[in-house]
Structure 1
Amino acid sequence: MKNETIYTAVLTGCGRIGYSLGLDPKREQPASHTASLISNPRIQLTAGCDTDRKTLEIWEKANPAAMTFHSSKAMYGRLHPDIAVIAVNEENHKKEAIAAIKAHPRLVILEKPVALNVDEALEIKQASENEGVAILVNHERRFSADYALAKNLLSKIGRLQYIHGTLCSGMAVYTRGDKNTGACSLFHDGTHLADTILYLMENTEDENAPEIELSKPTITGIFRDNENTIRQLSSHYSSSLCPDITMTFSGRSKFFGFEIDILGTEGRIQVGNGIWKYSGRTESSLYTGFYSLEENHAIRPPKRTGYFSNMIQNAVDYLDGKAGIGSTIKNGIAALRILEEIKNQL
């Protein structure tokens, strides 16, 4: 029998990822929590909360059927939702996540990174376990069709030789003051890079498979500007699955770029923002008696990756009892631990 249960949801944080990215005509939509929640027929968005009055007014105008609150305490005092979404700045993740957990929804959707640091993330995890409330972390590439395809194709490219992840933007990679706000690319977007590499390497078919652990990095290529702000670095790892795993973070770029390049002994996969290329081993057209890598144009991901809508659908499927959580608090802490270990070496 088809499940037609309507799940109620509330949103704390009605700003950029909470709402306004859903208005960007160039992004694949839905691209915000608000847009994703209201586009799912199984969810009713009942309230929004934000401490900024202007932000909340804009959100209220766009969502007139929903209630609005200036504090999550007031919201949870009036409502008991099935889903509580936390889309606030990193420095407020711990406070708002624990407040949501103590309101006892069936599921908390928490923006990335999980928290400012691993200690705060572990407090959130402990609270969720104590209260019996599940957490889904919005590491969206775990739900994106292009990365799912890349993961499925790994078995086609032979033994892994390297995985190189690159994040480029104009945002500083790290400064000492960022530990209190998380407002640096190492944590703000770097959490996606670390988590996606972990996701691609995980054996999701075998629950008993050993966990992927990237630790004790070798840090190279540190570039500091005139104000001693770190603008570039690379972090190197080696594991039994791949001898060369590198993450490069640049805050010197005049563009935004996110890419993961995976080279195997028989093929290569390149996937990222606006990037897709799958190349396989074939008899060379350049040299007699040799093989080359040639792009396979027949294998491409769908134009719509469903990165945000699939995450929300996973929440519905979890509440229906049909699926596990596709991006867990444990996954989120693993990514955060990688970034914190990099930070501690700077």
Structure 2
Amino acid sequence: MRKTKVVLIGLGRIASSLEKDPYRSKPCTHSGALFSSWGKKNFEFLGGVDPHPDKRENFRKQWKIPEEFTFSDPDHFPSKYKPDLAIIASPSESHYRNALEWIDKGVKNFLIEKPVCETFLQAKDLEKISRKKGIRIWINHERRYHPKYAWAKQVLDSHKYGPIRTIRASVLTSALAPGRAFQGRTGPLFHDGTHAVDLVYWFLGKPDRICSSLTKRKGFPIEDRALAFLEYKSGPAVFLEAGGARKYFQFEMDIMTEEARILLSNDGMRLFVSKPSKKYKGFNSLTEVSFPEKSFLGSNPFMNLYAEMHNVITGKSERMTGDIGENLGIMELLHKIKTGAKIRTVTEI
């Protein structure tokens, strides 16, 4: 069996160090997938690239990698190595530059962390280049590979519980408890909100009308909170919040259909269906039922993603989920939310 040859660009959090989190389901990083027993059988690790010496050293210690397998920049990566796949797990502001560097080296398959680029214009250019050169690009919106979210997609598409009426999507964090979104230039809308926007786009496609607002602290270049209301001519409405002055991180998709409510979050999944009410005669109420356990996917999103890539690259399948073309639509939606927003400036959060 031919292994997929891999180079990993960026050796930090999502590339490697998050694997040390004792609470997360494993693997939860790119290295965790690559160095799993299944990963070693299907992928050949050619090397990791990162400009920071401390990250290279920590990566080598964590995975017991010899020094000759880590490099400070692409120019030091041996030309004799010919990667089938480049995984870009560097900070968001580096994605576009890193992708162009490895495209120039002849790589034809990419997995890029979300958001695919720092701006919509960069994503638009990258999509154009990929079409012209026949390059395949996956973007790691990992919830698409989670069995419960995949189940929800199937059920919503089938109209088993009727059409979608409303979605309340929230990705809550803030500068009060800052994460990566507040360390770079992307802000919570592009860095964290992209997960919610990706799912909204996956479930409903492009909205017909967008209203939005941003709250910024005086003297800060990025928003602390983004709010958006999306409308579709077919009927659904979406309420989105990203950021929002919270001292915690919370991801949640609250989907209301004609006959059910599907709650998807980082705290679990819940399903409610319409049944005759036990409190109000002649009415139906939402009643919680057991969430289905079966799915066409395995249990781990990273393993599902890597299995899909390996099957496509080795010619076993043509099925891609969330490629650069679809992500261009997601980036355009994020761009419209941001550029069309009313700005509110406050002195403190």
User: For the superposition of Structure 1 and Structure 2, which TM-score range results when normalised by the shorter chain?
Assistant: 0.7 to 0.9
How far residue 325 of structure 1 moved from its aligned partner, in angstroms, is: 1.6
Residue 247 of structure 1 corresponds to which residue in structure 2?
240
Distance in 2 between residues matched to 1:126 and 1:63, nearest whole Å: 39
Task: Say whether 1:192 aligns with 2:195.
Answer: yes
Distance in 1 between residues matched to 2:80 and 2:135, nearest whole Å: 19
Q: Secondary structure at the match of 2:201?
A: helix
Task: Say whether 1:331 aligns with 2:326.
Answer: yes
How far residue 268 of structure 1 moved from its aligned partner, in angstroms, is: 0.8
Q: Determine which of 147, 150, 158 is the counterpart of 1:148.
A: 150
Residue 287 of structure 1 corresponds to which residue in structure 2?
280
Alignment of 1:43-62 (within 5 A): 43-61=43-61, 62=63
Residue 206 of structure 1 corresponds to which residue in structure 2?
none
Contact 1:73/1:99 (CA < 8 Å) preserved in 2?
A: no
How big is each residue's C-alpha offset from its partner over 1:284-308, in whole Å with a ceiling of 9 and x where there is no partner? 1112222111011252468974111
Contact 1:116/1:179 (CA < 8 Å) preserved in 2?
A: no
Between the two proteins, the alignment pairs up a number of residues equal to: 329
* Identical columns (%): 26
How far residue 312 of structure 1 moved from its aligned partner, in angstroms, is: 0.9
TM-score normalised by structure 2 residue count:
0.87
How far residue 227 of structure 1 moved from its aligned partner, in angstroms, is: 4.7
Distance in 1 between residues matched to 2:318 and 2:265, nearest whole Å: 27
Q: 1:197 to 1:81 in 2, by over 3 A?
A: same
Residue 160 of structure 1 corresponds to which residue in structure 2?
164
Q: Determine which of 290, 300, 310 is the counterpart of 1:306.
A: 300
RMSD over aligned CA atoms reads: 2.5
Contact 1:216/1:341 (CA < 8 Å) preserved in 2?
A: no
Residue 91 of structure 1 corresponds to which residue in structure 2?
93
Alignment of 1:6-85 (within 5 A): 6-39=3-36, 40=39, 41-61=41-61, 62-64=63-65, 67-75=69-77, 77-85=79-87
Distance in 2 between residues matched to 1:187 and 1:301, nearest whole Å: 32
Distance in 1 between residues matched to 2:103 and 2:284, nearest whole Å: 56
How far residue 171 of structure 1 moved from its aligned partner, in angstroms, is: 3.8
Alignment of 1:175-254 (within 5 A): 181-201=184-204, 212-214=205-207, 216-220=209-213, 222-225=214-217, 227=219, 230-254=223-247
How far residue 264 of structure 1 moved from its aligned partner, in angstroms, is: 1.1
Task: Say whether 1:317 aligns with 2:306.
Answer: no
Contact 1:106/1:319 (CA < 8 Å) preserved in 2?
A: no
Task: Say whether 1:106 aligns with 2:108.
Answer: yes
How far residue 253 of structure 1 moved from its aligned partner, in angstroms, is: 0.5
TM-score normalised by structure 1 residue count:
0.88
Structure 1 residues 8-17 or 273-282, which shifts more?
Answer: 273-282
**Unaligned stretches of 5+ residues in structure 2:** 344-349
How big is each residue's C-alpha offset from its partner over 1:31-67, in whole Å with a ceiling of 9 and x where there is no partner? 1111112222211112111000110011122242571
Contact 1:116/1:180 (CA < 8 Å) preserved in 2?
A: no
